[in-house]
């Protein structure tokens, strides 16, 4: 059986310790702030989360760009030259053209390396939802599954990766076109907090509204009981946040206490995802019957 590498992109929001633990390769996406384009590395070498969200809070605008075909080819070439195959678990096509770039690069590289396998999965996931799928894939690889077996498992299970999140400031969703300006104004006045999730097409969808921050956090916790598959039996649940660790820890404590979840891991939301959520976003990811 040929050796293979699992490749993903930094929208997965796995930190460096997580990446090293599971043994995957992460292609850094880019973001531009104060006129400078930086890379979103798992170790935050270009800009740390604290500085990034502080700048956003001060009104700095941030833009992001999908990885292009050439960048993917450049990243994958050393892997293929080393005699290893590549399984690419890409950022949701519902939110970015990154997956399409991966597919185009795979097609080009297949001509240069006809003896190598280059498989692409559109995860339809983002942030640590994507990270959770990558984590399970890496565990299956370590258990001896072939590249095709891991690819097939990801395709069969990606729509069971539940993504639930809320934001504290509606301004950023308004700017991204997720809600109208009028809704943002009224919602801010009434302390309305949206509860959103990722749908089966990999898009962000506003599901409900809660009055106040705590109510929105509790609404997310409730989803574990309603949709989670044997919560106490899941190996881990993941929570990502943008400069609101206290809220993330509240959710972690609640799902441990209410559902007996054994391991809950927290990490920051990186700049690529955070550019669109702003500071004050908290997201919960777990395996469920449906999204």
With a CB cutoff of 8 Å and minimum separation 6, the contacts of 21 are: none
Report, as an integer, the average pLDDT of 236-247: 97
Report, as an integer, the average pLDDT of 147-157: 98
Computed over every residue of the chain, the mean pLDDT equals 93
Report the alpha-carbon distance of residue 176 to residue 290 in Å, rounded: 26
User: What per-residue confidence (pLDDT) applies to 191?
Assistant: 72
pLDDT band for position 204 (cuts 50, 70, 90): confident
Look-up: residue for tokens 């006045």? 189
User: What per-residue confidence (pLDDT) applies to 80?
Assistant: 98
The conformation of residue 124, written as its DSSP 8-state character, comes to -
Report the alpha-carbon distance of residue 140 to residue 146 in Å, rounded: 9
Tokens (6 digits) for 141: 């690889």
Q: Is 178's pLDDT higher than 60?
A: no
User: What per-residue confidence (pLDDT) applies to 208?
Assistant: 86
The string of pLDDT tens digits covering residues 257-276 is 999 999 999 999 999 999 98
With a CB cutoff of 8 Å and minimum separation 6, the contacts of 11 are: 29, 40, 91, 96, 98, 126, 127, 130, 270, 272, 273
User: What per-residue confidence (pLDDT) applies to 85?
Assistant: 98
H helix runs in 127-197, sequence order: 127-142, 147-157, 171-175, 181-189
Report the alpha-carbon distance of residue 83 to residue 33 in Å, rounded: 38
Q: Is 115's pLDDT higher than 70?
A: yes
Antiparallel, parallel or unpaired: β 85-90 and 4-9: parallel
User: Quick check: 106 and 88 in contact, CB under 8 A?
Assistant: yes
Torsion, Cα of 200, 204, 207, 212 (10° steps)? 150
Choose the weakest-confidence range: 15-29, 109-123, 187-201, 247-261.
187-201
Report the alpha-carbon distance of residue 210 to residue 92 in Å, rounded: 27
pTM of the model: 0.94
């Amino acid at each position: 059986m040929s050796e293979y590498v699992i490749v993903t992109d930094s929208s997965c929001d796995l930190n460096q310790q997580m990446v090293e633990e599971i043994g995957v390769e992460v292609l850094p996406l880019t973001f531009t702030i104060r006129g400078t384009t930086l890379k979103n590395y798992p170790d935050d070498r270009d800009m740390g989360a604290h500085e990034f969200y502080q700048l956003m809070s001060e009104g700095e605008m941030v833009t992001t760009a999908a990885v292009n075909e050439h960048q993917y080819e450049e990243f994958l070439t050393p892997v293929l030259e080393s005699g290893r195959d590549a399984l690419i678990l890409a950022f949701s096509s519902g939110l970015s053209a990154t997956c399409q770039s991966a597919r185009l690069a795979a097609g080009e590289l297949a001509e240069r390396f006809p003896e190598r396998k280059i498989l692409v999965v559109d995860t339809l996931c983002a942030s640590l939802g994507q990270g959770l799928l990558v984590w399970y894939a890496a565990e299956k690889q370590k258990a001896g599954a072939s590249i095709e077996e891991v690819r097939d498992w990801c395709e069969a299970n990606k729509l069971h990766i539940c993504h639930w999140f809320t934001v504290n400031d509606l301004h950023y969703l308004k700017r991204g076109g997720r809600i109208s300006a009028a809704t943002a104004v009224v919602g801010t006045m009434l302390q309305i907090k949206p509860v959103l999730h990722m749908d089966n097409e990999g898009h962000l969808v506003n599901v409900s509204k809660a009055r106040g921050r705590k109510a929105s956090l509790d609404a997310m916790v409730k989803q574990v009981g309603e949709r989670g598959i044997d919560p106490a039996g899941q190996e881990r649940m993941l929570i990502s946040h943008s400069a609101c660790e206290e809220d993330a820890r509240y959710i972690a404590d609640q799902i441990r206490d209410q559902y007996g979840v054994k391991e809950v891991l927290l990490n920051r939301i990186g700049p690529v995802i955070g550019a669109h959520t702003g500071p004050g976003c908290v997201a919960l990811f777990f395996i469920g019957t449906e999204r």
